[in-house]
C-alpha cells in the first residue's frame, strides 16, 4: 500500500512570497491533516478535513494560510505571504476515519529567507 | 498553551540499555495517548499507544506506563538498539472531539553501539 505522498520535499522562498504544498493521502482515507513542525518542536495541527469538509481549522493562521481538499482526495496548503517564522516542515497525514491511526507523509521542508 | 510536556529533550544510552522518556499532561479530557517515532527526513510513525483505563501496555521491547492520578505516562525501550536512534514524541488526543494530536516537544534518542 502506498503511503502519503507530499511534494515538493524542499522549498526555499523569500519572505512575502507565496508557496503551495501538495498532499496525496493513502487511497481510501477520508480524513486528512496538515501539521506544522518547527525545528525542535512537536507537530502542531493546522487543519483537518473529513472528505472535502473542514473539521478543525482553529489553529490555522487564516490571514496567510489556506487549504483545500477538492473532491475529497488530494489537498493543497498555501501560504501567502510567507513570513520568516513560517520556516518549518509541513506534514500531511491521513487516516481511514477520524479516531483511527494517522499515517504521516515525509513532509515538505520550507525555508523562508 | 503547552498541554503535553516531554522530557528529557535528548537522551544517550548504550546498546542493550533501557531508554526512558517521560510525558505529563494537563487536560484530563485526553483519552488516548500514542507515542510516535520519527527518523530524519521522515514523518512520524505510530509506535505504541495506550488508553487511561490500563496502567501498562507492552509491545515487544516497547512499554508504556500510565499513571492517571499523576497525569503522567512514559515510554520504556528495553534492550535499546542503534536502530532505535530517532526522535520520539508523546501525544494526547480527545477522541470524542475529533482526533487532533497534541504532541510533546520530542526526545532525540541516540543509542551508541
Query: C-alpha cell of A32?
Result: 486528512
Q: Pick from A3, A6, A38, A42 the residue to mutate for testing the B interface (most B CBs within 10 Å).
A: A42
- Take residue B71 and report the three cell numbers written for it: 497525569
DSSP bridge pairs for A89: A37, A109
Who's near B69: CB < 8 A, 6+ residues apart? none
Confidence at residue A1, expressed as pLDDT on a 0 to 100 scale: 63
Which pLDDT value is given to residue A71?
85
Q: In angstroms, how far is the first alpha carbon of chain A from the final one?
A: 37
The answer for residues whose C-beta is within 8 angstroms of residue B15's C-beta and 6 or more apart is: B80, B81, B82, B111, B112, B113
pLDDT by 10s per residue, chain B, length 113: 458 999 999 999 999 999 999 999 999 999 999 999 999 989 999 999 999 999 999 999 999 999 999 999 999 999 999 999 999 999 999 887 767 889 999 999 999 99
Is residue A22 pLDDT above 90, yes or no? yes
Q: Do A41 and B45 touch (CB under 8 A)?
A: no
Residue B23: other Cβ atoms inside 10 A: 26
The answer, for B104 touching chain A at a CB cutoff of 8 Å, is yes
Grid coordinates of A24:
496525496
Distance between CA B77 and CA B17 in Å, rounded?
8
| Chain A residue with Cα closest to B48 | A101
Q: How far apart are CA A105 and CA A100, in angstroms?
A: 16
Give me the mean pLDDT over the A27-31 stretch.
93
The answer to whether the CB of A65 falls within 8 A of the CB of A78 is: yes
* Cβ neighbours of B4 in A, within 8 Å: 42
**A62-103: pLDDT as tens digits:** 999 999 998 889 999 999 999 999 999 999 999 998 778 899
Find chain A residues with C-beta within 8 A of B91's C-beta: 42
- Cell 494537563 sits on residue: B26
Q: How far is CA B90 from CA A59, A66, B21, B24, B65, in A?
A: 20, 28, 9, 9, 12
Amino acid at each position: 500500500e502506498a503511503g502519503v505522498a507530499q511534494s515538493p520535499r524542499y522549498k526555499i522562498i523569500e519572505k512575502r512570497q507565496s508557496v503551495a504544498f501538495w498532499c496525496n493521502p493513502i487511497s481510501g482515507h477520508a480524513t486528512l491533516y496538515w501539521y506544522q513542525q518547527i525545528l525542535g518542536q512537536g507537530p502542531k495541527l493546522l487543519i483537518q478535513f473529513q472528505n472535502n469538509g473542514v473539521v478543525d481549522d482553529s489553529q490555522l493562521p487564516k490571514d496567510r494560510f489556506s487549504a483545500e481538499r477538492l473532491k475529497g482526495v488530494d489537498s493543497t496548503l498555501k501560504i501567502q505571504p510567507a513570513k520568516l517564522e513560517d520556516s518549518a516542515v509541513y506534514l500531511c497525514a491521513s487516516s481511514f476515519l477520524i479516531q483511527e491511526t494517522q499515517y504521516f507523509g515525509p513532509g515538505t521542508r520550507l525555508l523562508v529567507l | 498553551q503547552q498541554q503535553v510536556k516531554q522530557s528529557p529533550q535528548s537522551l544517550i544510552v548504550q546498546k542493550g540499555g533501557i531508554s526512558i522518556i517521560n510525558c505529563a499532561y494537563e487536560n484530563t479530557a485526553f483519552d488516548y495517548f500514542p507515542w510516535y517515532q520519527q527518523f530524519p527526513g521522515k514523518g512520524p510513525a505510530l509506535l505504541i499507544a495506550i488508553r487511561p483505563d490500563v496502567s501498562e501496555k507492552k509491545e515487544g521491547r516497547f512499554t508504556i506506563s500510565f499513571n492517571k492520578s499523576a497525569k503522567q505516562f512514559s515510554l520504556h525501550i528495553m534492550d535499546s538498539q542503534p536502530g532505535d536512534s530517532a526522535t520520539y514524541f508523546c501525544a494526547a488526543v480527545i477522541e470524542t472531539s475529533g482526533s487532533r494530536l497534541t504532541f510533546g516537544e520530542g526526545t532525540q534518542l541516540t543509542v551508541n553501539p
